[in-house]
Structure 1
Amino acid sequence: MIRESGTSTGGPALRRSLGVWQLTMISVGATLGTGILVVLGSSVPLAGPAIFISFLVAGLAALLSAVSYAEMAGAVPVSGSSYSYAYATMGEGIAWICGWCLVLEYAVSVAAVAVGASEYVNEALSTAGLSLPAAVAAPPGADGGLLNLPAVVIIALAMLLLVRGARESAWVNTAMVVIKVAVLLLFIAIAFTAFNAGHFQTLLPMGAAGMSAAASRLFFSYIGFDAASTAGEEARNPQRDLPRAILLSMAIVTGLYILVALAAVGAREWTWFDGTEAALVQILEELTHQPWIALLFALGSIVAIASIVLTVLYGQTRILMSMSRDGLVPAVFGRVSARTGTPVAGTLIVGTAVALTAGLVPLGELADATSIGTLFAFALVNLSVIYLRRSRPDLPRTFRVPLYPATPILGTLMCIYLMANLGPGTWWVFGAWMAVGAAVYFGYGRRHSRVAALSQADYEHLSAQAPEDTAVEAVVPAAVPAR
């Protein structure tokens, strides 16, 4: 069952310490920077100068899902994000699929983003004529690498900070978000001084299909806007603040992405980006001929990557905590420390696994695999809004999706459209991941599920015992028939 923290196990509860500003910064921190700093170089050759349209299409798809997240976050204000929303509406089986997709989304995106750290560390070191040895700058099999040390270090630091407490992590993240917004605004200001409108004359050299393919890849850039929804049990006023934080973060991120894309292609021909690493730093170096500006941007980029790692790793631990409470993954992920008010053991396990993945595995196209898992989860959230509106029209909602039911239907269709534009290799990876998930569910989750152990008498007792608990009231009627 999905319950308030601590009630299912009798353990300590998570601490409600986050306001709307910290929640917004969690979402911005988890989102802003990924597409610009890590995926931009491989996406521009797909879309050409229309890359800003690709960002807009991906952002529209994310926004349609974001308003659905906002409604569900206000109606079911618990940790677990779309996993909890699916559990509250469509039952355990669909929730497991959603949660398993989120494990792929969060864990691989953290590793993928962290892998990009070595590029910016080397860019920062190059201003002093230094560079990392190849052996510690890349994973095995890539340019003589043995270990991506910067990625491992960044994940380890984020893991240790999260263990200390959510409030401390939120304040550090807020500071890092301010820094990365500032460096992106610096790039925009400098790049627009060299803006050449002629770079946009052939807007769609790869056709609409190329623009769509880039949009599907760039959806990776919007992964993380839902991070605030994983903090439902640590928000001071979740029903009011979670919807505001989700929508505000989407506006900030989409606006900055489009401005940076316009500035970058305006400053350099779209063909220049093919094979270019740390493209924005190189543009600044070529335009200013001032090493200190490139150094400043490279350092800001490292901070941006660290912010994404911190907030997405935070979301991963809270999702696994919710799944643990429902018996679908081992109980260790749901144990909350009485001293720090955080799931310490789960954070250490997840952080170590992700650090090893980032340090040792060449991720490459797995950004696309992350996108497909995310799109699937987002589609389920849109469907959850429709399901809950029909099954529980009386449920209090602090935010309602505008133009219902058109908006969640369009959100679902947009997710399906972007999934269809991903390559066959991505679908193979996704299929393999879901097959592993099915084995884990039937081998462990189904046998340990709390719903499986819930008799009809228990169900009636729980329903009568917590009539004012929105989360339990929404979940119990859906969960029992799912078995």
Structure 2
Amino acid sequence: MASAATLGLSLFRRKPVRSMAEQAAADAAHGSLSRSIGLFPLVMLGIGATVGSGVFVALTAAVPVSGPAVMLSFVIAGITAGLTALCYAELASTMPVSGSAYSYAYATLGEFCAFVVGACLLLEYAVSASAIAVGWGQYLNELFGDVTGWQMPEAISQPPGEGGVVNLPAMALIAICAMLLIRGAKESTAVNAVLVVVKLGVLALFGIIALTAFKSENLIPFMPLGWAGVGSAASMIFFSYIGLDTVSTAGDEAKDPARTLPLAIIISLLVVTAIYLFVAIAAVGAQPWTAFSGQNAGLAVILRNVTGAAWPSVLFSIGAIVSIFSVTLAAMYGQTRILIAMSRDGLLPKVFGRLDPVTQSPRHNTWIVAVFIAVLAGVVPLNVLVNLTSMGTLTAFAVVSLGVMILRRTRPDLKRGFKVPLFPLVPVASVAFCLYLIIELPRQTHLLFLVWVTGALLLYFGYSFRNSVLARAS
């Protein structure tokens, strides 16, 4: 039986950065993921994974918590995401491989921490895809109501706890995304780029129309629930910045990753933050903050109320349906790539890393992910999904920031395509902001997260610890 000292060393065994690059090359030589994604598709992937969730789904849940000060909530979430984006950019330029924060943690904090981070990422992507897909049914119903006067029964179109029993449109959306992802990464990102352009167009339409009804009195009182409400709303909507992480999961499929990954992460963040603030200002200025509570497909309803006509709502609902599709697609893409990375390292069964010989896509992996996400989307209440996503995202983001500081100290010789400015202030501030938002999440979220991590630990010590590639090599 291994001694406590030996066990401790095994838990913190690290995967050398150089071996990551060598394995990526070896995997490519054996018919693995191909480098087919350039800078523009990467930026579109980041925007597509981000814009939609916060604006289309979470805004109407966040405003009743914070009031018009939801604008500050977006700023706080944006600052936190911005600090972390700089850390992601440095690690992505240093270690351009799939796996995102999981791979970075493996090189800096060791195998045990990497596995926990991987579990957080899997929670983040699965639950966010579920939460986003839930909003799809709401906008679909709004469109049906505007065009035909008929709507699906709430039992099959609304989230559980909000009048629904099983959300069938959300489950259907996930199945469609799975079928597209199985066709291959290049095709998926090309479709995503088109969807993002449509999304930006309808959000611009919303902002322009909503601003025509802007009333300054709708911003008073600006902070009706105080800073506590602002912090709670910031924690709630933080999951909408998950797209930054999605870009870094494409490390094995990006062209010239040391240059394109950091650029794509930073460009995505700037575009996303500007869009969120624009839409939030237009929305809270167009109607009293108290009107947002229980307002399904909220932005489409605002357009109908402002114009007194159905056509803006119809156009926006179509755009929202397209947009939520692209976000779900990107979130599922990110999760399957993290599973591939963990499977390669022996921490998960080989089925998750098996690729289709024709499309070079993880067919089995994708269907397993789709079933899991569809169950969550169909039967779990929306507010639970949103908060759990934020918890997983914030934990992973904090680890990335810690990883930058550790790698600067342990491997100062590494070639970095991008370096975090004002080091170590930026990564320290990133960790502090992440911890603040984690504390602001509800106690129920902390308990559910603890259950998830406990399950992950059982899997690690029951399977991964013995089957790790590093364990077999030692």
Which residue is 2:10 aligned to?
Answer: none
Change (3 A) 1:271 1:144: closer
Aligned to 1:78: 97
TM-fit CA distance, 1:209: 1.3
Maintained 8 Å contact 1:327/1:448 = yes
Structure-1 residue corresponding to 2:180: 161
**Contact 1:12-1:337 at 8 Å conserved across structures:** no
Residue identity in the other structure for 2:300: V
Query: Given the two structures, how large is their TM-score scaled by the length of structure 2?
Result: 0.93
What is aligned with 2:459? 440
Equivalence for 1:396: 415
Question: What is the aligned partner in structure 1 of residue 121 from structure 2?
Answer: 102
- Aligned partners of 1:86 and 1:275: how far apart in 2? 40
**Kept in 1: contact 2:31–2:360 (CA 8 A):** yes
The equivalent residue for 1:478 is none
Q: Of residues 134, 156, 159 in structure 1, which corresponds to 2:154?
A: 134
Whether the aligned pair in 2 keeps the contact of 1:105 and 1:371 (CA below 8 Å) is yes
Cα deviation, residue 67, structure 1: 0.5
Partner of 1:476: none
Deviations 1:68-123 (A, max 9, x none): 00000000000001001111111111100100000110001101110111110100
What is the aligned partner in structure 1 of residue 47 from structure 2? 28
Contact 1:138–1:359 (8 Å) recurs in 2: no
Letter in 2 for 1:401: V
- Counterpart AA for 1:130: W
Label 1:141 to 1:404 Cα distance change in 2 as closer, same or farther (>3 A): closer
SS in 2 for 1:18: coil
SS at structure 1 position matched to 2:106: helix
Give the conservation status (yes or no) of the 8 Å contact 2:157–2:164: no
- Residues 138 and 158, structure 2, Cα contact 8 Å, conserved in 1: no
- Kept in 2, the 8 Å contact 1:4–1:78? The answer is no
Structure 1: how far apart are the matches of 2:220 and 2:328?
37
Q: 1:233 to 1:375 in 2, by over 3 A?
A: same
Within a 5 Å distance, the mapping from 1:82-481 to structure 2 comes to 82-127=101-146, 128-138=148-158, 143=163, 145=165, 147-455=166-474
2:59 equivalent to 1:14: no
Structure 2 unpaired stretches of 5+: 1-14
Q: Quote the Cα distance in structure 2 between the aligned partners of 1:22 and 1:388.
A: 29
| CA–CA distance in structure 2, aligned partners of residues 342 and 71 of structure 1 | 28
Taking structure 1 as the reference length, what is the TM-score of the superposition? 0.91
Q: Is the 8 A contact 2:70 2:230 kept in 1?
A: yes
- Asked if structure 1 preserves the Cα contact closer than 8 Å seen for 2:214 and 2:285, the reply is yes
Alpha-carbon contact 1:11-1:336 (below 8 Å) kept = no
1:38 aligns with 2:38: no
Contact 1:4–1:233 (8 Å) recurs in 2: no
> Is this contact kept in 1: 2:218–2:285, CA < 8 A?
yes
Q: CA offsets per residue over residues 386-438 of structure 1, 9 Å max, x none?
A: 01111111101111101011000100111011111111111111111111111
Shift, 1:454, TM fit? 1.5
Deviates more, 1:312-321 or 1:148-157: 148-157
Q: Matched residues in 2 for 1:144 and 1:47: separation? A: 26
Secondary structure of residue in 1 paired with 2:359: coil
Within 1, Cα distance between the matches of 2:164 and 2:79? 40
* Aligned match of 2:75: 56
CA RMSD of aligned residues (A): 1.5
How far does residue 365 in structure 1 lie from its aligned partner after superposition?
2.0
Residue type matched to 1:362 in 2? P
Deviation at 1:4, TM superposition (A): 3.8
* Partner AA of 1:343 in structure 2: P
The corresponding residue for 1:67 is: 86
- The answer to whether the 8 Å contact 1:163/1:344 transfers is yes
Report how far residue 138 of structure 1 moved.
3.7
- Secondary structure, counterpart of 1:194 in structure 2: coil
In structure 2, distance between residues paired with 1:90 and 1:379: 12
Q: Which moved more, 1:199-208 or 1:301-310?
A: 199-208
Work out the CA distance in 2 between the residues paired with 1:188 and 1:144.
30
Distance 1:374 1:361 in 2: 19
Deviates more, 1:239-248 or 1:267-276: 267-276
Structure 1 spans left out of the alignment, 5+ residues: 456-483
Change (3 A) 1:33 1:139: closer
Structure 1 letter corresponding to 2:241:
Y
Cα distance in 1, alignment partners of residues 272 and 202 from structure 2: 14
How much does 1:201 deviate?
Answer: 3.2
Assess, with a 3 A threshold, how the Cα gap between structure 1 residues 344 and 11 changes in structure 2: closer, same or farther. Answer: farther
1:462 corresponding residue in structure 2: none
CA distance in 2, matches of 1:112, 1:291: 27
Say which is worse superposed, 340-349 or 407-416, in terms of deviation.
Answer: 340-349
Provide the identity percentage.
48
CA contact (8 A) 1:5 1:12 kept: no
